[in-house]
Chain A
Amino acid sequence: MTKRKRQYPTLQQKLDRPWCYYCERDFDDLKILISHQKAKHFKCDKCNRRLNTAGGLSVHMNQVHKENLTKVENANPDRQSLDIEIFGMEGIPAEVVDQHNQEVTSKHFAEEQERARLTGNPVHDAFGAGGQLAKKQKVEETIEGIKKRIVEFKENIANGGMQMNGSGGPVQPIGSQPPLPHLGHSQPTASLPAIPGGPSPPPANPFAAPQQAPQQQPQHPFPPAVPQALPPRPPGHPNAALVASVDELISSAAKDAKDVKDAKEGKAGGSSKKEKNIRLVFSGDTESPEERMVRLGRFEFAA
């Protein structure tokens, strides 16, 4: 058995993949890269002989077929030069390596961000290169603590201030963190040190910013703690507009939740997105084409 691939490779795994200087394709394995280069870029079009390098092919063409090789076949326009001796990953100029790594990195974060947006899951390996999952913060809780929080929670409700971002809201699932009931004071502060920094994208990531629209408050796992009995106010919303903004939050959250659902369904079975743009040429579900043909009349037979 081969090792099961991680569904989404980490940045390091992507950076480690061998890739072809000439066409920027990447491969699982150095051997495959080399055979790719021999087949695509270093193959003689006269006799199909596969050489190891562009230089080798040039010499071969010269000596065997009396022809001059001018460029590397199937290469990107700026990589057709014969002067650079490439074999596998060897010989690639440093600046090209840097450029490639940069592209892989930015693409990696873009994909990650897109995935986080679609699924609502937190960005896992925010500090990508580590390849480690950010561990969930373990919350130590005692029975007393929980009981106390229940009492406070009930008081909260009695006071009319339902925590819109705490526990139990049906639209919550998009919230990326485990839905800890969030009640400012009662939470032992010591257990929450890592949360503010939590799963936010690395500061260097240029793609992080535009994703967080101000209305998407509910995705913010932990709004700033507020005194109990008062609904938490999303920053920037004046008190008067509170009700309206709550409605807006709920509807946008519900929409997000639906998006997530769609995305998941798309992954599981036939892609539901595509489904809309599909036309079945024949779409009966109990009657076969032949039975319909019989009913046309022309073929009917009266026994």
Chain B
Amino acid sequence: MSSQFELAQNPTEHISAVKFAPDSSTRLLVSSWDRNVYLYDTHAEPGGKLLQKFQHRAPVLDICFGRDDNEAFSCGVDWDVRRLDLNTGEQTVLSSHQQGVRNVIFSSKHNLLVSGSWDCTLHVHDLSSDNWATIQLPSKCFSLSVSPSKLVVAMSTRMLHIYQLSDLAQAVAQSNAPAPNIVQVNPWQQRESSMKYMTRAVACMPNDAGYASSSIEGRVAVEWFDPSEASQSRKYAFKCHRQTVDGQDIVYPVHALAFHPVHGTFASGGGDGVVALWDGVHKRRIRQYQKFPASIGCMDFSGDGKYLAVGVSPGFEDGMDDMPDGVVKVFIRELGETEAMGKGASKK
């Protein structure tokens, strides 16, 4: 059976990221614009238990788990990439960008931590040697995602780079110049977004076949890595997260994408407060959940695919000179056995 509840103790400002621990589907990290990172055990007591709070000096824009359930990395408006020891609360600055740092992501297979910043660089940290290198990007980093072998970087100006993680690992291993240690790594592929508007989020398929990206104009594109014509001709984009009010189409940005680790289907979360599950292979919407009370800023499936965490915060819209007040909450949805299963899978 599926059920849904909200965490009892929520951040006080916008939620920038929610992430489940790799080995535990009840351990959840939440980063917020209120300058804190929160660690919860979602099922220790009803409404979840706040285990710890890690204060930062600036709004935290992203968070990810590291090599185990007790290591995390954060980044934020203060230009720093930090390592958090979740047991002791100790924070170490790993590197500093020249601008706010939008994303951090960890690849366990290659033991690499990658951060992407608005200063148009990536920092690639080799966690086994604590070496790190800088890779120049043509424009600002807006979203990062890793598959088992690739890193997808979505940037402003609708650019998209796909790197082989092995190339990155090699480049960092070979170069140990002092910071910023700029290395030249050619992307495995450079693409332009197939959507007309700014890219909002990108997420890789867990089976390493491709990725989905979303734009601020209520659209999601699904593409495949394989450069062959046959695979490329399979790519498509579709409209979603829109509603018609008085004959006017209101188009919301699609802030969040997350792939289900088991079924390979994916969820999209939009400014309209709607979370929808899609079967990217069969081009079907599986289901759409009841509207959440505010914009969906971020989402994550737990490692076993049993839970979906949804970060809900009021959305930032055109013409606002302050953040709107509204609900800031993390919802945990327990998925039924077949809830996120695609069409093909259910036939078996």
Contact = CB atoms under 8 A, between A and B. Distances in A.
A119 B197 CA distance: 29
7 A-B pairs closest in CB distance: A301-B58, A289-B316, A278-B249, A301-B77, A299-B59, A301-B78, A282-B253
A285 B323 contact: no
A292 B316 contact: yes
A293 B100 contact: no
Contacts of A278: 248-251
A300 B316 CA distance: 16
B157 interface: yes
B208 to A, nearest CB: 27
Given A270-B196, A298-B323, 14 more contacts: A274-B249, A278-B250, A282-B216, A282-B317, A283-B217, A283-B318, A285-B198, A290-B61, A298-B322, A299-B33, A301-B57, A301-B59, A301-B100, A303-B78
Contacts of B78: 301, 303
A70 interface: no
B142 interface: yes
A301 B33 CA distance: 12
Interface string A219-234: 0000000000000000
Interface in B127-160: 140, 142, 156-157
Given A288-B156, A293-B323, A298-B322, A279 B198 contact: no
Nearest to A299: B59
Range, interface on chain B: 35 or more
Contacts, number: 91
A281 B250 contact: yes
Contact of A294 (B100, B156, B315): B100
B264 interface: no
15 contacts: A277-B247, A278-B249, A279-B248, A279-B250, A281-B251, A281-B252, A283-B318, A288-B142, A291-B118, A293-B14, A293-B316, A296-B323, A298-B322, A298-B323, A301-B59
A292 B253 CA distance: 15
A284 interface: yes
A96 interface: no
Interface in A242-300: 270, 274, 277-294, 296, 298-300
B125 interface: no
Nearest to B242: A278
Interface in B240-275: 247-253, 271
Nearest to B80: A303
A16 B27 CA distance: 60
A153 to B, nearest CB: 45
Nearest to B297: A289
Contacts of A294: 59, 77, 100
Instruction: Point out which of A279, A282, A286, A288 has the most chain B C-beta atoms below 10 A from its C-beta.
Output: A282
Contacts of B196: 270
Contacts of A298: 322-323
Nearest to A292: B316
* Interface SS of chain A: loop
A273 to B, nearest CB: 11
Contacts of A285: 197-198
Interface residues of A, number: 26
A286 B157 contact: yes
A279 B245 CA distance: 10
B321 interface: yes
Contacts of A289: 253, 315-316
B244 to A, nearest CB: 9
Nearest to B96: A303
A95 to B, nearest CB: 40
Contacts of A283: 197, 216-217, 318
Nearest to A277: B248
Nearest to B143: A288
A296 B13 CA distance: 14
Contact of B79 (A277, A286, A303): A303
Interface string B37-67: 0000000000000000000011101000000
B121 to A, nearest CB: 16
Nearest to A274: B249
B102 interface: yes
Contact of A282 (B16, B156, B271): B271
Contact of A299 (B58, B156, B252): B58
Contacts of A299: 33, 58-59, 77
Given A293-B14, A294-B77, A299-B33, A281 B58 contact: no
A282 B316 contact: yes
A289 to B, nearest CB: 4
Contacts of B247: 277
A277 B77 contact: no
B323 A279 contact: no
A281 B253 contact: yes
A283 B216 CA distance: 7
A299 B216 CA distance: 22
A258 B156 CA distance: 34
Contacts of A286: 156-157, 198
